[in-house]
Amino acid sequence: MTMLVLLMLFICIVIPLGFAWRLWKLDEPSRLGWLIVLADSLVFMALILIVGRWDMVGLWTRIAVMGLIAAAALVSLRRHARRPWGTTEGRQFWRRHMPTLASLSLFGMGLTYVVAVGLLGRHGPQPLAFPLEGGRFVVAQGGGIGLLNHHSDHRAQRHALDLTAVNTAGFRVAGLLPDDPARYAIFGKTVISPCDGTVIAARDGLPDLPPATRDRDNPAGNHVVLSCGDLRVELAHLRHGSVAVASGAQVLAGELIGEVGNSGNTTEPHLHIHAVDALTGAGVQMSFDGLVAVRNTVFQR
């Protein structure tokens, strides 16, 4: 998990700083050359903004990064504003920009795929009530492709969501990877029922583990499964001793289920939620407030 955090710091901070410096120092003879480099930089940055785990790096860091790139692009624009569109370099111009054009094509196709399939793909989403209260919550895993959602290749969990929370500074935790689960912003947050239904499974009694310690024998940890019409909805990794419902109980949307913990096969505190079709067992896409949540979607409750 530490490696993932360090990787995200590199992707979301170091690489954008490099692109900002690239644009700031850019000095092309023509506006066409400037536009090619600018487009390549912006496409790559768009991918970082979508794919990056900003709950790890900081929600406000994302705004700062966007502002830095915008400032560098503006400086670059002013430098090139009066230069000609055309170029007298001929083939040498295209040879010089071939690596940039190749990068633009590759990452442009990647961005198109991520947006079209990962973000905009719709599969008859079922409306549910948002299952958390008392904070600012961020979708850490969610979307239609593995780059955004590590559950996407699992039939029952292909539309699952992992939800974290952020503190006032915009980070999911105070520190890099502390051993105390209580230092994570989401730990202990209230979990509520996302639908009217019947509790068909409920488990408590498993311990909250130190982050990065997994209980692979009990993947869902303390959890509740609800039967809501044609859906089965699971809420997993609940806090030890917090499960407030028992099997067979009738619940209404918004009713207390428990609290977020760190039980089961999990790397750090978060709420896992997924829904399946009761007949087929296939994963079902969920929506909250009319919105299909994907990575970095923020909910304030």
Instruction: Render pLDDT for 279-293 as a digit per residue (tens, 0 to 9).
Output: 999 999 999 988 999
Q: Is the pLDDT of residue 3 over 90?
A: no
Helix (H, G, I), strand (E, B) or coil at 193: coil
209 DSSP assignment: P
Do you know the residue count of the chain? 301
For residue 223, what are the β-bridge partners?
A: 203
Quote the CA–CA distance of 175 and 210 in Å, as a whole number: 14
Quote the CA–CA distance of 57 and 164 in Å, as a whole number: 13
Which pLDDT tens digit goes with each residue over 209-248? Answer: 999 899 999 999 999 999 999 999 999 999 999 999 999 9
Q: Write out the two tokens for 46.
A: 């768009």
Which domains, from first to last, does the chain contain? 2-119 (no CATH), 126-300 (2.70.70.10)
Which of 6-15, 57-66, 82-91, 167-176 is predicted least confidently? Answer: 82-91
Quote the CA–CA distance of 296 and 301 in Å, as a whole number: 16
Looking at residue 118, its amino acid is: G
Please name which of 44, 55, 25 lies closest in space to residue 173, comparing C-alpha atoms: 55
- Summary mean pLDDT of the chain: 96
Please name which of 169, 167, 193 lies closest in space to residue 182, comparing C-alpha atoms: 167
Please name which of 127, 129, 125 lies closest in space to residue 159, comparing C-alpha atoms: 125
Question: Which pLDDT score is estimated for 121?
Answer: 80
Q: Is the pLDDT of residue 89 over 90?
A: no
Backbone angles phi, psi at 225, to 5 degrees: -115, 130
